[in-house]
Chains A and B, each alone.
Chain A
Amino acid sequence: MRTPLRRVRMIGVLALVLTCALSLGAHVGSPDVFYEGDAGPYRLFVTVRMPQVIPGVAEIQVRCASNDVSAIEFVPMTLSGPGSEFPPTPDLAQPSKEDSQFFTGSLWLMEFGALKVRVTADGSKGKGELSVPVPSYAQRSLKMEKPLAGLLAFLMLFLAIGAVFIAGAAVREGNLQPGETPLPARARRARFVMALTAIAVAGILCLGWSWWSADAGTYQRYINLAKPPAAETTLENGNRLILRAKGQDPEWSQIVKMEEVIPDHNHLMHLFLFSMPGMERMWHLHPERIEGGAFAEELPAMPAGKYQIFADVVSKTGNPWTIVGPVELPQINGKALGGDDSAWSDNAAGGRAASDTVSLLSDGGRMVWLRTKEPLMANRPMSFTFSVEDKDGKPTSDLQPYMGMAGHAEFVSKDLSVFAHVHPAGSVPMAALELGRAGVSNESHAGMSMALANAAMPAKVRFPYGFPRSGDYRIFVQVKRAGKIETGVFDARVQ
């Protein structure tokens, strides 16, 4: 139960939810959270499988890099502000019988919005903590299975008819002295009352159905508001793409102000354009905001055709959104790429993969996906490790931070139902990570810009992630080498 204050009207709640939800809508079709970081002296790979409904139970998996962790505990808290100070009684993760470095557990997530899971590891080196921001929002509503629907319908019919007959018996015999037989007049009156009761019961059932429908509709609006907004595009002057976001619910634009989005990795928007079908070309561009909350980009040279848009923005409260939609473009004779903009083409020199695990880079080097021969499985957290080699096949030594990160990876399903923009720390946004770290002094994150600023860049870059469902995917891995952005592309079939 809730206090009345918390039972504010729907839009008020949603406004609160969406403006607070820092990691809401960060990806498309990929709700689970993957995070790799240090809990004090222990390196942990944490996977949070989000519940379909809120409140609901999240499944949590923790893999320890070392074998000196004896216990893992976790608690849910708000990411920041009220509720981020008092942890409830922690849940204890269960160690795997087969693998002592693997722990699993479940955790109730009770609220919509930006939460964090605080993970505490205990072992031979003492205790360490880290916090994983999680987007807590409803993903779908459940349809009732036919057997259950049949059972409930039968029971409700039984109750309805039972109520009618009980009312009849009450009128017919209830007031009679013991042993007295009801007169015909009573029987007639009983039938009349039964008819009235039947009408009343039917009315109550209709009201109940309306109530249920209204509740379901409200819940669906929660779901729709959290869905990625649609991209509405126009082309001006032959090469100027104008992009606007339109939420799946009419109230979305009242809650998320595109005029107020903030820079993430130095840019207000990260626009990914994939050629359709096949994703044989990809652009990673950075449009500028114009009046009315729209964004504009002077497109580079592009062939005519159909493209798919995935555009990442972050609202002023740090809430990331991915704007999604198709766009059909004519031949564009556009500007040259510059700054952090990048492009990849299957037809470019060195563009296409040499094999399933090797992608040739434009500078003659190559990117190698270090993976086992085991098939890729859906819903299995993995570390995707890529090694960047120079044209002599040696690990490169000239990698640089690309927009503050060791690398960026985009996992895109061929049917476009999944899009995830992942960094070496995982699938959580950097702004949420910073907020989630408050009060955790001994935590560090892989791949963060501050750490990178003074460190030598290794030739390998690693991304924690897990495919949400089976199917064919294309993975784009972007790194910066000697001032030039290189993109390795890999295809993956997931079972």
Chain B
Amino acid sequence: MADSIPVGQSLQARVDGHASARVDSVPWTIWCMVAGIASGMIGGHWDISWHMSIGRDSFWTPAHILIQMIAVLVGIACGYMILTTTFGSDAAAQDASVKIWGFRGPLGAFIATWGCIAMLTSAPFDNWWHNAYGLDVKIVSPPHTLLSLGSFAIKVGALALMAGLMSRASEEVRRTLTWLFVFVGADGVVQLGTILTDATWPMNLHNARCYLAVAMAIPPVLIGAAWGLGRRWACTLVAGGYTAILLAFEWVLPLIPAQAKLGPVYQNITHLVPLHFPLLVIAPAVVLDLLWNKTEQWGRWKLAAVSGPVFVLSFLAAEWPFASFLMTPPARNWFFGMGYFAYFDPAGLSYDPYQFQLADKTSGEFWLRIGIALVVSVVTARIGFAWGEWMRRLRR
């Protein structure tokens, strides 16, 4: 591909020196958006834990307020950017903007605004869904998917904004933006990992479907964010961020006392219950970084054809034995979190939570699904490279 950008050529190397649009400090709007994204991330996991531990909630639970803050903070930041660019007299901002329906602003601001509207749309939809089909007890439902799509679009918008700024930023600003970029990218992986909660429940970690689901969902975001960042060890940084975020939730949430307020209650709850130990995405991330260090000049399809299967197989090699360990008594502690169960979970009463639920009837069926996962991973890795490269080319 003639216009491919080698991994070694980072965004900072492409500062064009366009004086009028040069960025000398991280704008408050970026901080505001990142604060909103952090708020949504904390609120989302707190809310999941709340549903697992306490059950009963209302619109005004702290977790819900934190989730709603993402739309508020991002809406304020993006609204400000679009309105001041459209109606203000800042020529530099107008020069570094795109035009949609007569409004001008950074492309990322429009994407994030779209995400805010999607999140707002999901609210009445979700409320009706509760009334029509009962309070949802599933993470993945149509209104939740719209909410998640909106939240993800906000992250895409924030990443695009930061990518655009990094291409015009000073060294110091770029350094700060890099870490913010890693955080938002890691949160994107966290979000998709959360959507995969069902498929990647510890009891399912020896099922090929788990690896198929991971191959479908994780590479576009992990590779996309890492490739968009365009620096060495970017994939490890993003995966490390994902791991650190989930470990923080797993270790901190149980420190908060809680009691079940809905029934029936199958587990005695004394504190907030977190989700499980993060997936070992860090392992394939390290392998991919090592691979990319030696394949800078490869075409993107060729790189995807290798990176996707490498991701799946290295993840399988790391997660499979680790899953076996999670089923053993040494994993039933605060560190690995295998002793936590939701109040509504009849673990140990109706089923043994430390036995794998094997869905593949034969080894042939297992390897067929793994084969499908390998093929899928090529496509999803290519999507990740395309998205990352798009971000690296963004100027506005």
Q: Are the CB atoms of A86 and B265 closer together than 8 Å?
A: yes
Chain A residues, Cβ within 8 Å of B118: 159
Residue contact B201 to A76, C-beta cutoff 8 Å? no
A455 to B278, CA, bound (A): 65
List residues 235-280 of chain A with CB under 8 A from any CB of chain B: none
- Looking at the complex, which one of B52, B201, B343, B346 makes contact with A88 (CB distance below 8 Å)? B343
Residue A341 lies at the interface, judged by CB distance under 8 Å to chain B = no
Q: Is B263 a contact partner of A83 (Cβ separation < 8 A)?
A: yes
A-B contact pairs, 16 of them (CB 8 A): A1-B48, A2-B345, A4-B357, A55-B134, A55-B137, A56-B134, A76-B263, A83-B265, A86-B260, A88-B263, A108-B55, A110-B135, A144-B132, A152-B121, A166-B114, A208-B142
Known contacts A166-B107, A177-B395, A178-B18, then 16 further A-B pairs from the complex at CB < 8 Å, ordered by chain A residue: A1-B51, A1-B52, A2-B345, A3-B353, A82-B346, A110-B344, A159-B114, A159-B121, A169-B107, A173-B107, A173-B396, A178-B168, A179-B95, A212-B142, A215-B133, A216-B132
Chain A neighbourhood of B131, CB < 8 A = 53, 142
Q: Decide yes or no: A148 and B139 within 8 Å by CB, A138-B134, A156-B121, A208-B145 being known contacts.
A: no
Residues of A with C-beta under 8 A to B346:
6, 82-83
Indicate if the CB atoms of B264 and A177 lie closer than 8 Å.
no
Q: Report how many residues on chain A are interfacial, defined by Cβ distance under 8 Å.
A: 58
Min CB gap A117→B, angstroms: 9
CA–CA, A216 and B133, complex, Å = 8
Residues of chain B having any CB pair with chain A under 8 Å: 16, 18, 20-21, 48, 51-52, 55-56, 92, 95-101, 107, 110-111, 114, 117-118, 120-121, 124-125, 128, 130-135, 137-139, 141-142, 145, 160, 168, 197-199, 201, 203-204, 259-268, 342-347, 349-351, 353, 357, 390, 393-396
Any B CB within 8 A of the CB of A185: no
Question: Given that A83-B264, A169-B99 are contacting pairs, would A5 and B203 also be in contact in the complex, using a CB cutoff of 8 Å?
Answer: yes
A4-B198, A176-B395 given as contacts; is B261 within 8 A of A155 (CB)? no
Do A178 and B139 have beta carbons less than 8 Å apart? no
Interface residues, chain A, with chain B CB atoms under 8 Å away: 1-7, 51, 53-56, 75-78, 82-84, 86-89, 108, 110-111, 115, 138, 141-142, 144, 148, 151-152, 155-156, 158-159, 162-163, 165-166, 169-170, 172-179, 208, 211-212, 215-216, 219
Are A7 and B198 neighbours in the complex by a CB distance under 8 Å?
Answer: yes
- Indicate if the CB atoms of B264 and A1 lie closer than 8 Å: no
Most chain A Cβ neighbours within 10 Å, of B99, B100, B138: B100
Q: Is the CB of B111 within 8 A of A211?
A: no
Task: Give the nearest-CB partner of A168 in chain B.
Answer: B100
Name B200's closest neighbour in chain A (CB-CB): A4
Within the assembled complex, what's the spacing in Å between the Cα atoms of A165 and B55? 41
- A3 near B201 with CB under 8 A, answer yes
Q: Which of B121, B134, B394 contacts A175 (CB 8 A)?
A: B394
Q: Check A76–B264 contact: CB distance below 8 A.
A: yes
Residues of A within 8 A of B141 (CB): 215
Min C-beta distance of B170 to chain A, whole Å? 16
Q: How far is the CA of A87 from the CA of B125 in the complex (A)?
A: 32
Q: Which chain B residues border A83 with CB–CB below 8 Å?
A: 263-266, 346, 349
Cross-chain contact A3 with B342 (CB below 8 angstroms) = yes
Q: Which residues of B contact A151 (CB under 8 A)?
A: 124
Task: Give Cα distance in the complex from A144 to B390, angstroms.
Answer: 40
- B263:A87 contact, CB within 8 angstroms: yes
Given the complex of chains A and B, what is the CA–CA distance between A152 and B129 in angstroms?
12
With both beta carbons as reference points, the residue of chain A lying nearest to B56 in the complex is identified as A108
Q: A2-B344, A55-B135 are in contact. Are A88 and B117 (CB under 8 A)?
A: no
CA of A28 to CA of B256 in the docked complex: distance in angstroms? 46
A5: which B residues are within 8 A, CB to CB?
203, 350-351, 357
